[in-house]
Amino acid sequence: MNIYEYLKKDHEKVNDLLEKFFSLPKDDFEEQESLFEEIMEEVLLHSQTEEKSFYRALEDNSETQGDIEHSFEEHVEVENLLDEIASLSAEDSIWLEKMKALQKAIQHHVKFEEEEVFAKAKKILDENQAKELVKEMEKLKQEETMLPSS
Ligand SMILES: [Fe+2]
Ligand SMILES: [Fe+2]
């Protein structure tokens, strides 16, 4: 597996969780909140380790520098939405609206990565680097999940 396949798998996982969220009964607030927690954890684990592996490998290259800066900004946008939703209750009137905004922001970012960033990265990273980055990201995830949550 290379880093592109690995990241796509992560993206699909989040996409599936979001679809599952929107298929929940509108009045099942408890289940919505617990699924949101799961989505938040999954997204943060992905974006933080992606930044330290994939983005790090591309941020100093003039071909990708701008796209990586843009990607970092989109991560911040998603994180802000996650924080905002985390402070809400599923019974709040803006809960679903904010979840829709989160889904939209994530879909936009994933499309940008998979279409723009991957194409450029494939010209910069050789096959070996693309494989090594999977190991790096896996290792970062393991370290991250072993840390006591704050
Ligand atoms: Fe990603
Ligand atoms: Fe990303």
* Helix (H/G/I), strand (E/B), else coil: 64: coil
pLDDT band at 147 (very low <50, low <70, confident <90, very high): confident
Neighbours of 37 (CB within 10 A): 11
Listed in sequence order, the DSSP H helices in 59-126 are: 65-86, 95-112, 118-124
Q: What is the pLDDT of residue 146?
A: 86
**Could you tell me the pTM of the whole model?**
0.95
pLDDT digits (tens, 9 = 90+) for 114-144: 999 999 999 999 999 999 999 999 999 999 9
What is the whole-number distance in angstroms between the Cα of residue 144 and the centre of ligand 1?
16
List pLDDT tens digits, range 70-82: 999 999 999 999 9
**C-alpha torsion angle, residues 61, 66, 72, 76 (rounded to 10):** 170
The first and second tokens of residue 79, run together, are 């994180």
Q: Where are the domains of the chain?
A: 3-144
Q: Reply yes or no on whether the pLDDT at 150 is more than 80.
A: no
Calculate how far, in angstroms, residue 116's C-alpha sits from the geometric centre of ligand 2: 12
Mean pLDDT of all residues belonging to the chain: 97
Q: Which residue has the higher pLDDT, 150 or 53?
A: 53
Ligand 2 mean position to 50 CA, how many Å?
Answer: 6
User: Ligand 2 centroid vs 27 CA: distance in angstroms?
Assistant: 31
Which superfamily does CATH assign the domain made up of 3-144 to? nmb1532 protein domain like (1.20.120.520)
DSSP string spanning 44-59? HHHHHHHIIIIIHHHT
What is the 59 CA–ligand 2 centroid distance (Å)?
13
pLDDT > 70 fraction of the chain, expressed in percent and rounded: 99
User: CB-based contacts of 99: which residues, under 8 Å, 6+ apart?
Assistant: 21, 22, 36, 85
For the segment 77-103, what is each residue's pLDDT rounded down to a tens digit? 999 999 999 999 999 999 999 999 999
What does DSSP assign to residue 17?
A: H
